[in-house]
Amino acid sequence: MKILSYIVLTTAFLSLPFSFAATSFAKSEEHGHSIHWSYEGEYGPEHWGDIKDDYSKCKGGESQSPVGIALTDKVKLDSICFNYYETPLKIINNGHTIQVNYGRGSTICIGNKQYELLQFHFHNPSEHKINGQSYPMEVHFVHKGEDGKLAVIGVLMEEGKSNEFIKTLWNNLTKEEGKVNTVTDVKINASQLLPKNTAYYKYDGSLTTPPCSEIVNWHVLKTPIEVSKAQIDRFASIFKKSARPIQPLHGRVVKESE
């Protein structure tokens, strides 16, 4: 009897680390980052392209994001129409950022093209720079078109007055990674995070995280929104840094709405 319980205990003990490993692997697979990458050190942005073959665009791509926006081509651009609806709050710490997953049916239109809002998430500091200036944070609204292409709206966040919408999000965020926190009694509308003026810069680019796929129509709004220093600090207490450095334009021209 004693021997048996010894074996059971030993087996249980030995299998513990393996089952832990398996669980965390499955967890990260689920959120699309099966291989470890980070914003600093050994697995930082300058090494993303070497982590695995699928990430090769991160070092060999010629339409990468983010970019520094300075010289632009001022032209008449279609205005963006936003049709965002209220959705129950679904918020997740995916290990790289705080992301809010959006319910079906909210869309934007640009010209005759329509894209559906999938999620929005944050970066610290901003990924895009305007005339060399970086902002404390940036939010990305990720939309998908019928052709599989993404339209991402980037909104720069500057230090100013406290933001009520951010307050609601931060009240429900968690340090625990990989678990969606569904808060059914809290309804949100992403349009509350948009500035009134939605004039924008536009260029063709990529995902700013591995696999750095070059499938994104970028629209960076010219007008930032305000958040308080305490709100910026709260995010930074979970993610010290979550921004990829500026990528070369390789001849791309950024368009700016007049």
Nearer to Zn ion, 162 or 240 (CB): 240
As measured in angstroms, the least distance from the Cβ of 46 to Zn ion is 18
Nearer to Zn ion, 208 or 231 (CB): 208
Q: Residues touching Zn ion: how many (CB under 5 A)?
A: 1
Q: Is the peptide bond before 211 cis (omega within 30 degrees of 0)?
A: yes
- Running DSSP on this structure, what letter comes out for residue 131? T
Nearer to Zn ion, 73 or 242 (CB): 242
As measured in angstroms, the least distance from the Cβ of 140 to Zn ion is 4
What is the Cα 160 distance to its own chain's centre?
Answer: 22
Nearer to Zn ion, 140 or 219 (CB): 140
Q: ∠206-243-48 over CA atoms, to 5°?
A: 60
Taking the alpha carbons of 246, 75, 141, 126 in that order, is the dihedral positive or negative? positive
As measured in angstroms, the least distance from the Cβ of 185 to Zn ion is 28
256's enclosing H/E stretch is strand 254-257
Which class for 38: exposed (0-12), middle (13-18), buried (19 or more C-beta within 10 A)? middle
Nearer to Zn ion, 111 or 245 (CB): 245
Cα(87)–Cα(186) distance, rounded to whole angstroms?
8
Nearer to Zn ion, 56 or 119 (CB): 119
As measured in angstroms, the least distance from the Cβ of 121 to Zn ion is 6
Site residues (CB under 5 A) for Zn ion, limited to 36-95: none
Site residues (CB under 5 A) for Zn ion, limited to 120-159: 140
As measured in angstroms, the least distance from the Cβ of 49 to Zn ion is 18
Tell me the residue number closest to Zn ion, measured at CB. 140
What is the Cα 167 distance to its own chain's centre?
Answer: 19
As measured in angstroms, the least distance from the Cβ of 74 to Zn ion is 26
* Continuous H helices in 112-228: 164-171
- Interface residues with Zn ion (CB under 5 A) are 140
